[in-house]
Amino acid sequence: MFSLMDGFLKNDPISLQKDILHHVEYTVARSRFSFDDFEAYQALAHTVRDRLIERWHDTHIYFKRTKPKRLYFLSLEFLMGRSLSNSVINLGIEDQCAEALNQLGFEFEVVAEQEGDAALGNGGLARLSACQMDSLATLDYPAWGYGLRYEYGLFRQIIVDGFQHEKPDYWLNFGNPWEIERIHVTYEVKFYGTVEEVEMNGEKQKVWIPGETVEAVAYDNPIPGYGTRNTINLRLWAAKPSSKFDLEAYNTGDYINSVVNRQNAETISNVLYPDDRSHQGKELRLKQQYFFVSASLQDIMRRFKEEHTNFDELPEKVALHLNDTHPSLSIAEVMRMLVDEEHLGWHKAWDIVCKIFSFTTHTMVTDGEKIPVELLENLLPRHLEILYEINFNFLEEMKKRIGLDYSRLALLSIVEEGAMKSIRMANLAIVCSHTVNGVSKLHLEKLKTKTFKDFYGLYPEKFQCKTNGVSQRRWIVVSNPGLRDLISKWLGTEAWIRDADLLSGLRDHLDNADFHLEWKMVKKVNKMRLAEYIEAMSGVKVSLDAMFDVQVKRIHEYKRQLLNIFGIIHRYNCLKNMDKDSRRKVVPRVCIIGGKAAPGYEIAKKIIKLCHAVAEKINNDTDIGDLLKVVFIPDYNVSVAELVIPGADLSQHLSTAGNEASGTGNMKFLMNGCLLLATADGSTVEIIEEIGEDNLFVFGAKVHEVEKRRQKRLSNLAPLQPAKVPLHFARVLRMVRDGYFGHNDYFKSLCETVEFGFGNDYYLLTSDFGSYLEAQAAADKAFVNQDKWTRMSILSVAGSGRFSSDRTIQDYAESTWKISPCRCPL
Ligand code: 26V
């Protein structure tokens, strides 16, 4: 007999096949006798979605029944990438799906390739959110993610004549089978207007009379855990015109304008802002933030009130996590809800608020996010009042603690005075959160001693380290199936997919010749895949015997892609000067660079152009042949990363020490058995701790040396002291400046960033160049000894367990959010 507990849907290949055909016919509306790869993808996606929905329902019914403390993860960015492979793996139905498709004449890999990326985020922070959602689901935590459903995700990068151009990413063009539109889950979000004081029950009460209303509609994205029935929710909000939107214009007969105005509402969730500081202080960005915050908090409070009656219970039942400062307006919004709407009284409300928020910062930069008071005054007048009151109370308390030290008080203040009075979002988040997290040990250290030194002095107990991690499900199981099978075979279990610490068991086979052989084979197959892609994208044929050397990440001066390019030019010079005999001993290289530059970041765009100019010169030099190839991979995104990372031999992480808060690319490469060539920055410091200095190539100034070197450079500027620039570096720089790669005028300002008297080489390329070349030489030497290389590669994977996002999330759950697993019964 059928039991409701089983769910309706079966997962054997025949049932899956029936469902796929059903969706071909009735959802995609194609004939079941004739459909293509894309239609097969759509039908399979809907088949998988049905199963996700079933689990999603069961999970939420279970959460509702057991009423655990819930975590709400608030982030303006999620870089989910593709969903199909990840979902079928987490549901445990990959073989069945492959068989079902096979019998219909399709291949799973080809069908999966049809899916576009969901790119609702910029880079590190956004992909981290995605990995953390995967871990929250897998570890059975009762969590919800909240975000914005941008209609245009991160811009697409196209390269024309070596220059980056940006194209809009209208990712919803062909529909999105992974979301469920909840037309009934809507909230009104209000903007503008005035604040008035009214008498209520003999007491004066502030009332906000808003001037504009927009509707937020929920779109739910089920996030399945691996090895569990739990499927949690990522709820993304889209802006729609409110039915009340412009009644007045309508009533006065201005029909056309009222319709135009209605349409304007939708612009709020239209487009993701590229990570570019110049976008701060823009009204639309602030509108996005508040729209997101208001909708999410109304939803959270509604759910809380359904299950509980007393707001005193809020801190025991709700944890709100601020993913960077972007959602920090939540603090003012919760205060407004509790004080103005629930009439709790300021002190009681503040007491509750201080117990529910935690905050993670993702940047090393001191000068954080600020909102001009002028903007807030107009857009959110009541929130500005609340922020002033929070700040007033905070400063009064501080005066009692530290006395009338006005310069210190000015640094602590949430309000920054001056030409442009503004709200310091980080100060707000720190004052009100019970925990302030850094994303690596080094990052936390900088927060304590520099960025938030004054706050650390006041609240040392708030500051915690939660070193980032990435999901081994996405970064090994989905993207490197060959390695997955090999690991499981040699560990004799698949348990590492839920418990990455087990990867350390690979050390037991470190000297096994068969293991080495299979290990190298897996890499070779991944390199073949990557080589095919490179040829298709750039027309460059690369040799599989060459070392595939990769640097893929957002283009930024501090990440020093320029150091990489200068190293390539130096290598080219060396090759040109070598005789035939010496050339025979050289390790051939394929240097692969990829990444997007923020549209307004001129220097980053020049780095991309230089990369192409150097590639053109070297790749067309027949004298060099396969000894050196340079490739720029366009439009780097999550699915490109899934292809590139498994195929890399060496990966570069070159940020000047003290600049990369954590970095997560390093962890992905580590898990894929790719050796790291890196500075001791961000989480790399902990990778070195874990696998030992001998198993990667570390170079460059350490954090404590960086400041000294900068000072030294500045003192070198004194006119009588000749500047000391290493010869190799000077030569490379001159080649670029003098037009060896063409476009000398265009590259002038780029060269100046590393020259004396101009940019002053703030990121220390000059002084790190020598040690960088030594690390490169060490990598070459190690590559020649393939046995040694393979051992280092195995030890990298074996040591990557600590860098699983499961570890990070468990740590957050236990020490910050105080939530417990809540596993939906099978
Ligand atoms: C800033 C802005 C400014 C206004 C417009 C939109 C926008 C979007 C994002 C950002 C800040 C991005 C910060 C970020 O991605 N940080 C990275 O976080 C990673 C995860 O913790 C970490 O590994 C990287 O080191 C860090 O750079």
Could you check whether 67-82+117-467+811-817 and 477-803 share the same CATH topology? Answer: yes
**For the chain, what percent of residues have pLDDT higher than 70?**
97
User: 362 CA distance to ligand 1 centroid (A)?
Assistant: 6
Q: Is the pLDDT of residue 4 over 70?
A: no
Atom of ligand 1 nearest to the CA of 126: 15
Model confidence at 499: pLDDT above 90: yes
* pLDDT, mean of residues 784-813: 98
Which DSSP state fits 271? B
pLDDT at 39 > cutoff 70:
yes
Tell me the pLDDT tens digit for each residue of 247-277: 666 677 778 877 887 788 889 999 999 988 7
pLDDT of residue 2: 52
Cα gap 674→645, rounded to integer Å = 8
Pocket test for ligand 1, best of 292, 325, 363, 465 (most atoms within 8 A of CB): 363
With a 6 A CB cut-off, is 124 part of the ligand 1 pocket? yes
Whole-angstrom Cα Rg for the chain? 28
What is the number of residues in the chain?
A: 826
The mean pLDDT value for 363-385 works out to: 95
pLDDT digits (tens, 9 = 90+) for 596-614: 999 999 999 999 999 999 9
| pTM for the whole structure | 0.97
- pLDDT tens per residue across span 140-158: 999 999 999 999 999 999 9
With a 6 Å cutoff on the Cβ, whether 448 touches ligand 1 is no
* Mean per-residue pLDDT over the chain, rounded: 95
Task: Outline where 238-364 has alpha helix (H).
Answer: 247-251, 255-265, 283-307, 314-317, 329-336, 346-356
Report the b/e string of 729-761 with b at 16+ CB within 10 A: beebbebbeeeebebeeebeebbbbbbbeebbb
Residue 1 reports pLDDT greater than 90: no
List pLDDT tens digits, range 391-450. 999 999 999 999 999 999 999 999 999 999 999 999 999 999 999 999 999 999 999 999
- Is 305 in the active site? no
Whether 474 is catalytic is: no
338/352 Cα distance (integer angstroms): 9
- Which of 177-191, 636-650, 674-688, 723-737 has the lowest average pLDDT? 723-737
- Residue 279 Cβ inside 6 Å of ligand 1? The answer reads yes
Catalytic residue chosen out of the listed positions 59, 186, 664, 808: 664
What is the per-residue pLDDT for 756?
Answer: 79
Rounded to the nearest angstrom, the distance between the alpha carbon of 369 and the centre of ligand 1 is 11
For 91-107, what is each residue's pLDDT tens digit? 999 999 999 999 999 99
Which CA distances in Å does 667 have to 232, 657, 719, 801?
Answer: 25, 17, 45, 10
Tell me, what amino acid is at 299? D
Q: Is the CB of 280 under 6 A from ligand 1?
A: yes
Exactly one of 553, 589, 596, 606 is catalytic; which is it? 553
- Known active-site residue 553: yes
Report the nearest-CA residue for atom 2 of ligand 1.
275
Decide whether any atom of ligand 1 lies within 6 Å of the 681 Cβ: no
> What does the pLDDT look like over 744-754, one tens digit per residue?
899 999 999 99
**Region 67-82+117-467+811-817: CATH code:** 3.40.50.2000
CATH architecture of 477-803: 3-Layer(aba) Sandwich (3.40)
Interval 490-515 mean pLDDT = 98
Helix pair 283-307, 329-336: axis angle to 10 deg: 50
Q: So what's the pLDDT on residue 722?
A: 46
Nearest to 289 by CA among 221, 335, 240, 239: 239
125 CB near ligand 1 (under 6 Å): yes
Domain ranges of the chain: 67-82+117-467+811-817, 477-803
How high is the pLDDT of residue 295?
98
- 370 as an active site residue: the answer is no
Q: Residue 661 CA: which ligand 1 atom is closest?
A: 25
Distances (CA, A) of 340 to 134, 155, 197, 744: 37, 40, 11, 62
**Cα separation, 367 vs 424, whole angstroms:** 9
